[in-house]
Structure 1
């Protein structure tokens, strides 16, 4: 057995033992698709103990490349929108913009998708092409359409898929618009995070079909949801849990905060719910549905720690501070952000603070909400 085959076999065995691979059909697909063929350009490795985080390239054939391909880790394949591993000598400090997701998560999502042969699937985010190859292996080429936003990433995936011997429909464009050319679909799966589930996905999924996506709010909490599309053009379904984190679809990245407003003005009152509740991931996920366009930061103002929510588009903000267990909130703008958070979390607490896996996300063409 060659070294790549041995590493591949070990990875599949470890995923099976860990419970990441739960069905024979997807285990067979995982055994058929060698991950290293979709990382031929290399990847970026995080430099240990670097702050801010820096990255160094690991090129094909170099020490650590092949073994790295078969670790259950996400591997960064592009930085700053254009920079590939082969473009860098040394280290780079820019932000990652594309990656090959860790295999256990890819396979978990494919199993959660509940796709069967004969179904048509739209994949949002081709990336390296690894998950696309798995879909084609489990279904068939004609059943799979995959769309990638970045042209360079799409071209590399196209070459890798062709070398592997599969030929799905590959589209370069904005995945948030879906791809009407092959609609309607039985399943849509997104390998990027979305701030809101696009109305186009609802329109392009047949009634009874499903959408699997990671809803990622701007307060920094994200969850995988599986939505069933209804005949009235809406969709609803459970939060599957797992606190997944994907890079946000580029058009869904939050706006820059710019020059901060004068945080010394505004109406002040005692807070019913303290700002420290946002330290909890599940609470943040629920709160995001009340203030979907708000971002969070922490500042030291006049010697005290302030938690700040800012909605750039609505020119609204709220700032909270703790004075010996007594929280005070000050707000300004057309939307009272903390009032909205308190009202929403208050209803959640009245219901007994149910776990996220007990929640249902509902999506309409006009927006999304969480119910429990």
Structure 2
């Protein structure tokens, strides 16, 4: 006998509550009531050795589909614009839409501090699941949600309405916000940013906050909630937990050609390249060289700047040390070494000791310990 769907929802909510991810009983009630399986559509992708393979709902036993839907995992629904239901078979590429793991969705919504009666702007409707959680928690009339992709926006609207909710849904570039609905008490982004677009800040209420993942081209990120101070600045600290939101489409890196190493004059590295592979270490490397992408292999850490053609790559020197080759106008590895060195001198703290400030002149910085500490300016 198949188990009722309510059982799967209750088990997911209980698991999130037991782990401490879900703390508010009102959000727990939302997880127990909103049908996540409805927002997955007829298919999702599973990553296999052959790339991304579509898993069709109609080809699964009903209980297996529900078990998939209520697993605390990110379920990819689109690869390079191709929905899983339309895939002819295994495909290769990068995810462009997904149903984020419920624990991260709830963690972000709780971090935002959303309360009854507040107006919330969500950037990135996606599948519509998080939008529906918001509707259940604070009422559909208080929820505004923007989706960049018109096809995804249409699918999400159908599913949100099927779930019984009628929020304000908008199709367009969410990084411009939605002025007709302003001012918002909370803005929450389900995509990562390289820096915060100023139009979003202009549309916040005087006591508002913005919650998002700060990401970049090295695929490092940090979750943060910024609040407004009396002097008009925004500040907050990173939670330190792993984050897997995709970058907003306008913030994604340019197409990168296949890497071909160009031999530069080698020199010994000043840091162990392995330091760039920890969660915080890669975050520091990304802050230090924000225009670079990173490729890590067993023997190399490769940095590439597409715009200038600059590249750096490390290799073992045959002993227990490493050397680096650099080519082009930007010395990418020099930048990373400087940043990692500053982090080391600060005691190599966890990402939770980092914070972010947006000053009155709109300069955006990430710092260690306090705004007066070691800091990096984010790309405009």
2: CA distance between counterparts of 1:53 and 1:282?
28
User: Counterpart in 1 of 2:281?
Assistant: 283
Post-superposition shift, 1:298? 4.9
Contact 1:196 / 1:368 at 8 angstroms: preserved in 2? no
- Whether the 8 Å contact between 2:263 and 2:326 is mirrored in structure 1 is no
Partner of 1:91: 90
The Cα offsets for residues 3-59 of structure 1, whole Å up to 9 and x where unpaired, read as 1222222222222222222111211222231222323x2232415xx3242312322
Q: Is the 8 A contact 1:38 1:157 kept in 2?
A: yes
* Equivalence for 1:188: 187
Task: Name whichever of 340-349 and 133-142 sits farther off.
Answer: 340-349
Residue 229 of structure 1 pairs with residue 224 of structure 2? no
> In the aligned structure 2, how far is the partner of 1:101 from the partner of 1:280?
23
Give runs of ≥4 in structure 1 deviating > 4 Å. Answer: 230-234, 259-262
Whether the 8 Å CA contact 1:11–1:71 is kept in 2: the answer is yes
**Partner in structure 1 of residue 267 of structure 2:** 269
Q: CA deviation at 1:155?
A: 0.8
User: Could you tell me how far apart the structure 2 residues matched to 1:306 and 1:4 are?
Assistant: 47
SS of residue matched to 1:54: strand
User: Does the 8 Å contact 2:310/2:331 carry over to 1?
Assistant: yes
Deviation at 1:262, TM superposition (A): 6.3
2:338 aligns with 343
Post-superposition offset of 1:216: 1.8
Q: Which residue of 1 aligns with 2:310?
A: 316
5+ long unaligned stretches in structure 1: none
Deviates more, 1:130-139 or 1:12-21: 12-21
Cα distance in structure 1, aligned partners of 2:104 and 2:90: 28
* Contact 2:125/2:146 (8 A) holds in 1: yes
1:60 and 1:171 map into 2 onto residues whose CA distance is 31
State the alpha-carbon separation in 1 of the partners of residues 19 and 50 from structure 2: 33
1:8 aligns with 2:6: no
* Matched ranges for 1:183-262 at <5 A: 183-230=182-229, 234-258=233-257, 260=259
C-alpha distance in 1 between matches for 2:71 and 2:173: 30
Q: CA deviation at 1:239?
A: 0.7
Q: How does 1:1-372 map to 2 (within 5 A)?
A: 3-39=4-40, 41-46=41-46, 50-60=48-58, 62-63=60-61, 64-85=64-85, 87-230=86-229, 234-258=233-257, 260=259, 263-265=262-264, 268-298=266-296, 305-323=299-317, 324-363=319-358, 365-372=362-369
Structure 1 contact 45–57 (Cα < 8 Å) conserved = yes
Tell me the distance in 1 between the aligned counterparts of 2:102 and 2:297: 38
Q: Which moved more, 1:357-366 or 1:341-350?
A: 357-366
CA distance in structure 2 between the aligned counterparts of 1:89 and 1:310, rounded to whole angstroms: 33
Q: Tell whether the 8 Å contact from 1:74 to 1:100 is kept in structure 2 after alignment.
A: yes
Match of 2:372 in 1: none
**Paired positions, count:** 363
Q: TM-score, normalised by structure 1?
A: 0.88
CA RMSD of aligned residues (A): 2.5
